[in-house]
Structure 1
Amino acid sequence: MPVSPAGGSPAALRRLARGGAPTLLWRALLAATLVGGIGLLPWLSRTDPALTVLKARSVERDPTPEALRAVRDELGLDDGPLTLLGRWLGGLLHGDAGQSWISGTDALPSATQALGVSLLLMAGALAAAVGTAAAVCARTLWLGSRRRLGERTPGGTMTAVLAALPEFLLASVSASVIGVQLGWLPALGWYGPQWMVLPSLALGLPAGAVLGRMLDDLLPAAFAEPWALAAAARGVPPRSVARQALRRSLPGLLPNLGLFVVGLTGGSVAVEQIFDIPGLGRLTLRAALAQDLPVLQTGTLALVLLAAAVGVVARLTARWLIGPALRDGALHSLHRPTPPAPRTLPLLYGTLLLAVIGLGLPRDPLVLNTAVRLQAPSAAHPFGTDALGRDILARIAHGALNTLALALAVSVTALVTGVLLGLLPRLSGPLVDTVNAVPPVLVALLVTGIAGSGPWTPALAVAAVAWSPLATHTSALLQQERATTHLTATRALGAGPWYLLTHELLPAILPPVARHALLRLPGIALSLAALGFLGLGARPPSPEWGLLLAENQPYAERAPWAVLAPAAVLALLGALAVTAAGGVRRPRLPRRLQRSGAAPAERQGRPVEREPSALEPLPTPVLISPTDTT
């Protein structure tokens, strides 16, 4: 009998319908709030919209009172933001998104064309990300399908390096080296498939490294499930076992894959700028800087609709992959207690990072010496000097204090917020889709308009969006953990909701989500400093890591050490974060509980009739995969 996504029964369908209406209303309210907040952006930023529009139209034109009055009358700015927003929404109902305040062209065709370019770029970047993730997981798949896999697979350093490399650095290096110097591929413009290769690689390699690492974290437990053991004992081909293990592990990853898809579409502003790609990210950024509200609101609305569609597809695909097992509570947990990971690599990377910081702190990061500008590494300057003759080692070391402290604080805040909201998927699901649809630069502009520009502005802006992938990860894991046979047995033996949450669900969910948060730590550090370079926080000559990369990027050909040194330290931070994440594991049960096998109700002081221990896995049909239908 066919199985519906909701479980197949009419009662389940009715529950789904009742739950869908509030979710849809909540999603519409969030989208309206976001679009309305963008409509208030010029007034929140405490600037004169007429002056900004006039300067965007013509830099040489003097902002006389008559010229400003003409712009206000033309655009109807004196009517106020609410009236302008109402007019835009009214026209949108009739398929008219208004006209650009800068160029006078229709906003809807411009946004549609830019969205098509971004979707094409996203497809190429997604292909590169999938290939990278496959390369990261290839060893685990090969060993696991042949029953040669231990508790965990070693490695992760190369993944950390790829995940920690900033997209704009990959884009600029590939454009200058592969596109200009070697001439293998075109570096500027958007005229055909060849122009897609370099920007797709710049976007897809870091995203694929993160996705591959998350998938590689789930595969060992999938290969250890009873169905995989039975399949190997019956001589099932290793390729089939590996394919089923992928199917078992992908549902926990699909929601984050959806976030990456939307992020690759609207968040690739730097890559689009470097390669001169007329995508939606660059369009919205330019509209935000010029306060071109019709174009900005139309582009943002397109991203919100795309995020909602991608989120629905990801959830339906996950339910299709393991829907029957979710319905029947026939899953096994992918997050079993494991021994702690070796601490050799984290200690090594941490020692190297502390050594770099310790050697650079006694040096002055602000002293100028134009006589030694762009000097190669030497005994006096181990990492060389920048274009102003400043010591790069000193700037890296002093920038580490602020960058790492802020990045760690934002990461902890994002982890706590993501876990708490992830436990409420009906509330956080639409909120995640809406937040993820907004480019980080636009979030920073909104935060700046509300809170003002200052050293804490980048932290607030990054923290406003950094929790969303962690909340998505938490919700996906929570859904699967609730459908495990172990939890069903524990509930049947008398455990209450609070006991299940604190003793079963959270111990299984927190370690993988914490590992995910550590994997994103280098990216958060870079995002903080990059926003400061845009004038939304710390500004030159502050020795922020992102500022170092951006300031020295134009000299990458003449003085590559000026870019490679901060990039190498950032990659070292990524390697430290990934290897340290391997030690965040669910602890084994105490020996006394393993020997006694006490049921949850007995440990709470309530006598119950003796049943098989909830700590022991229940029998499972040995030849049935967890994704097979019944």
Structure 2
Amino acid sequence: MSDTTPTAPVRRFAFAWRAGAGRVLAGAALLVTVALLPWLSRTDPALTVLRTRSAEQDPTPEALAAVREQLGLEEGPFALLGQWLGGLLRGDAGTSWVSGEPVLPELTTALGVSLTLVLGALLVTVAVAALVSARTVFLGSRRRLRHGRAGTGAAVLAALPKFLLASVLATVLGVWLGWFPSSGWDGPASMVLPALALGVPSGAMIGGLLDQSLPAAFNEPWARTWYAVGFPPGHTVRHALRRTLPGVLPQLLPTVVALVGGAVAVERVFNIPGVGRLVLDAAIAQDLPVLQAGTLTLILLGTAAGLGLRAVRHRLLGPALREGALPTLHRPPQPVPGSSRYVAGACVLVLLALVTAGLLRDPLHVDTAARLLPPSPEHPLGTDSLGRDLLARLAHGALRTAAVASAVTAVSVVLGVLLGMAARASAGLTDVVATLPAVLAGLLVTGLTGPSVLGAALAVCVVGWSPYAAQTSALLQQERASGHIAAAVALGAGRWHLLRRHLLPALVPPLLRNALLRLPTAVLVLASLGFLGLGQQPPAPEWGRLLSENQPYAELAPWTVLGPAAALVVLAVLAVTAAMVVRGDGRTSR
């Protein structure tokens, strides 16, 4: 709809004011929650700090009382938060409860490391995204495109567990070949391997979304007209990317945040002193000043990234967003390649065969005499470090993994759509929640629920809705700027008619594709929480936990991680082919 009325500047100012107020309120709520973490966890903060300082010291009542008096714990969380905020206004972020050192120098050093790592990882992300979508761009520039082409390859890359990829890169390129440092942070060379571990899966995710969106742009009326009159292919490609990128850019925000604060596992593999590792260690040790300062840093970084991406998006769309000149995003169903049916069928058969064969075995039977056995007729996928059959554990964990990840994804999508449709009220909240690493959310949630699969699922839902809310808001803004919406309003269409007949048909397909592409990511996030003791507890089998608990044996017994990793890749390929079916109508192309 047109946005050129005299009240348009007023509406834009009101929206900006609400979004800013939402960011402040959401950030304040998050900081208060973090301040309450030592008390929510139902453990004595003095005991946790004392054990972190010195594990050998006897936690006598006198020693605990001395720690409480030194830290001022008797004053309560709100008094401590007020003191910390007062010091922050004077440029003092407090003193670490564990080390006794000022927080600000340590945080500044960690932030510099993380920003450098993020820069390298973003370069890798952009390069991988360009490679993933390169064939689609080439075919589209020559009018030989009907649908995206890189789905399966993107799925395999996006499904690579970051911590497992980091371990492989550190072992092969760092230890065996010696090309790059495998541990520590000492100069630009130390950035290469962690940047690859972080950037390759993220770039595949972004490139897959771009690859799915480009065909619609290349088939819009303006593109067909330019083809007919002989415009240079490069000119058409630039404008197709300009048309498509605004819908993909909101997905970069959680990616950037994940690179800054959520790369804990990669930082641990490479021993990198970044912000994510600093915040996680502070949360585990209940080092409140460090945790509060790190959380505030993540909030500010996420807010700045959100504002920057929103400005770039408005710049790309230009006046068309204001003047209602965008074509509709809703397209008639496109033919689905026949090969996609065969790939999907093969993935289903593989998973069914895996589950059927493994369900007949005991996943909890321990045989210490059969530790780390390679694949054999008796153990087709080998055994783990306790002698348990990996096929049995993989099969018994399949339904649990798929069910929890699917439920988490479904809840996140519903929440994201509802909040994204109320963008005026949730814009600031979305930016702030996107800054919260899932690991920190897991610590906050399990402080209330205790370590469990339900607590881990709730933690992922707490942060998992933000990508879908950002995507919903962006797609709605573009769709409302299309000419057919203005025509429908002029003909008397009401709000519910517009939502049911015009807006939802444009929103549902891209949101479902995004959800399917992110399904393997949900599995890995749940795995990381389980690995840290916040999710599924052993000895219950679960794919993510299988990857995490066998990761230390990847070099000695690679089959212990190859099975779960291959199953995850098969699940990702199945998700991508399902996404292609969502885009199409079930017909096969000829």
TM bin, normalised by shorter chain, reads: over 0.9
Q: How does 1:46-445 map to 2 (within 5 A)?
A: 46-150=42-146, 152-339=147-334, 341=336, 342=338, 343-445=341-443
Q: Deviations over 1:238-290 (max 9, x none)?
A: 11211111111011111111221122111111111111111000000010011
Q: Deviations over 1:526-574 (max 9, x none)?
A: 2223312322232222211122112211211121111111100001000
Q: 1:7–1:323: 8 Å Cα contact kept in structure 2? A: no
Q: 1:458–1:529: 8 Å Cα contact kept in structure 2? A: no
Q: Could you tell me which amino acid in structure 2 is paired with residue 172 of structure 1?
A: S
- How far apart in 2 are the matches of 1:194 and 1:88? 37
- How far apart in 2 are the matches of 1:155 and 1:359? 32
1:351 Cα deviation from its structure 2 partner: 1.4
Q: Deviations over 1:411-469 (max 9, x none)?
A: 11111111111111122221121111111111011001122222311111111111111
Which residue of the partner structure matches residue 539 of structure 1? Answer: 537
Q: 2:18–2:425: 8 Å Cα contact kept in structure 1? A: no
- How far apart in 2 are the matches of 1:335 and 1:217? 14
Q: 1:383–1:391: 8 Å Cα contact kept in structure 2? A: yes
SS at match of 1:536: coil
- How far apart in 2 are the matches of 1:447 and 1:299? 18
SS at match of 1:15: helix
5+ long unaligned stretches in structure 1: 1-5, 589-630
Tell me the TM-score normalized by structure 1. Answer: 0.90
Task: Tell which deviates more after alignment, 62-71 or 12-21.
Answer: 12-21
Q: Could you tell me which amino acid in structure 2 is paired with residue 219 of structure 1?
A: L
Change (3 A) 1:244 1:423: same
Q: Deviations over 1:127-150 (max 9, x none)?
A: 111111101110010000011112
Alignment partner of 1:455 out of 449, 453, 456 = 453
Q: 2:530–2:545: 8 Å Cα contact kept in structure 1? A: yes
- How far apart in 2 are the matches of 1:558 and 1:264? 29
1:20 Cα deviation from its structure 2 partner: 2.3
1:14 Cα deviation from its structure 2 partner: 2.8
- How far apart in 2 are the matches of 1:547 and 1:23? 39
- How far apart in 2 are the matches of 1:174 and 1:360? 31
Task: Tell which deviates more after alignment, 360-369 or 532-541.
Answer: 532-541
1:114 Cα deviation from its structure 2 partner: 1.1
SS at match of 1:583: helix
Q: 1:166–1:526: 8 Å Cα contact kept in structure 2? A: yes
- How far apart in 1 are the matches of 2:342 and 2:112? 48
1:50 Cα deviation from its structure 2 partner: 0.8
Structure holding more helix per residue: 2
- How far apart in 2 are the matches of 1:90 and 1:8? 45
Alignment partner of 1:561 out of 543, 555, 559 = 559
- How far apart in 1 are the matches of 2:223 and 2:14? 38
- How far apart in 2 are the matches of 1:17 and 1:328? 18
5+ long unaligned stretches in structure 2: none
Q: Could you tell me which amino acid in structure 2 is paired with residue 360 of structure 1?
A: G
- How far apart in 2 are the matches of 1:11 and 1:483? 17
- Percent identical among aligned pairs is 59
Which residue of the partner structure matches residue 3 of structure 1? Answer: none
Q: Could you tell me which amino acid in structure 2 is paired with residue 450 of structure 1?
A: L
Q: 1:447–1:460: 8 Å Cα contact kept in structure 2? A: yes
Q: 2:253–2:434: 8 Å Cα contact kept in structure 1? A: no
Alignment partner of 1:528 out of 526, 529, 543 = 526
Q: Could you tell me which amino acid in structure 1 is paired with residue 484 of structure 2?
A: H
Q: Could you tell me which amino acid in structure 2 is paired with residue 156 of structure 1?
A: G
1:583 Cα deviation from its structure 2 partner: 0.9
Tell me the TM-score normalized by structure 2. Answer: 0.96
